[in-house]
Amino acid sequence: MISLEQEVLAKNDKVAERVRGWLAGRDTVALNFMSSPGAGKTTLLERTISDLRSELPLSVIEGDQQTAHDAERILAAGCKVVQINTGAGCHLDASMVARALVQLDPPRKSLVMIENVGNLVCPALFDLGELAKVVVVSVTEGDDKPVKYPHMFRASKLMILNKIDLLPHVQFDVEKCVAFARQVNPRIEVIRLSATRGDHIEYWYGWLRKHVNELTLTGQLV
């Protein structure tokens, strides 16, 4: 099993490097959004598209096991989108993203948001050719998620703690969650926001502007 897993990941990594080169040739930035189901990835993308589409050229690759419901929401927000249905699969892989990018045909100097299948395990293992992974956690989940699923948080550049507007109504220790995240990844950045109400959404937009500029200019996050 270990040998088979290494072979699968090695094959995926080769495709991911080709995807990364394809994106770099277009000066295009890809971000890999990951979370458990219901954490609010799609809602955050909808708001981001609505607020920033006149400033940043955006397009989306939507990953779900079934249906095109989230892709329909992204399209309604005013963004070009390609849906990938994985069937029984619990994550996107680089080959899926490579095919979707050809169909999506993002413009040069743009931002591609890849919304992965809702799952805190498998998506962290697969490089999609993105230049950064972003994990979204909501306060309606357990505050110990980072230590329960350490590889996800270790692989991520940014943790977005979503639904902070619900904090008065749930038992969730924000500082404990952040401490757990930094226990497994001391360099992880953290933004606390509400995608629905808009609390602190400007910090997310500032992060995007900063790193999109860095990635376009240098090809890597610093």
144's tokens: 């110990």
Which helix (H) or strand (E) is 84 found in, with range?
strand 80-85
Residue 134 forms part of a structural domain? yes
Question: Rounded mean pLDDT of 121-133?
Answer: 95
pLDDT in tens, 41-83: 999 999 999 999 899 899 999 999 999 999 999 999 999 999 9
DSSP per-residue string spanning 6-26: HHHHHHHHHHHHHHHHHHHHT
Domain span at residue 143 reads: 2-213
Look at the chain and report how many structural domains it folds into.
1
Lowest mean pLDDT among 143-152, 187-196, 209-218: 209-218
Question: Is residue 219 domain-resident?
Answer: no
By residue count, the chain amounts to 222
Residue 17: inside a domain: yes
CATH, residue 172: 3.40.50.300
| Residue 220 covered by a domain | no
In a domain, 218, yes or no: no
Sign of the four-CA dihedral 138, 139, 141, 146:
positive
State the CB neighbour count (10 A cutoff) for residue 184: 17
**Is 70 exceeded by the pLDDT of residue 216?**
no
Nearest C-alpha neighbor of 39 from the set 147, 142, 163: 163
Question: Does 81 map to a domain?
Answer: yes
Calpha distance 136→162 (Å, rounded): 7
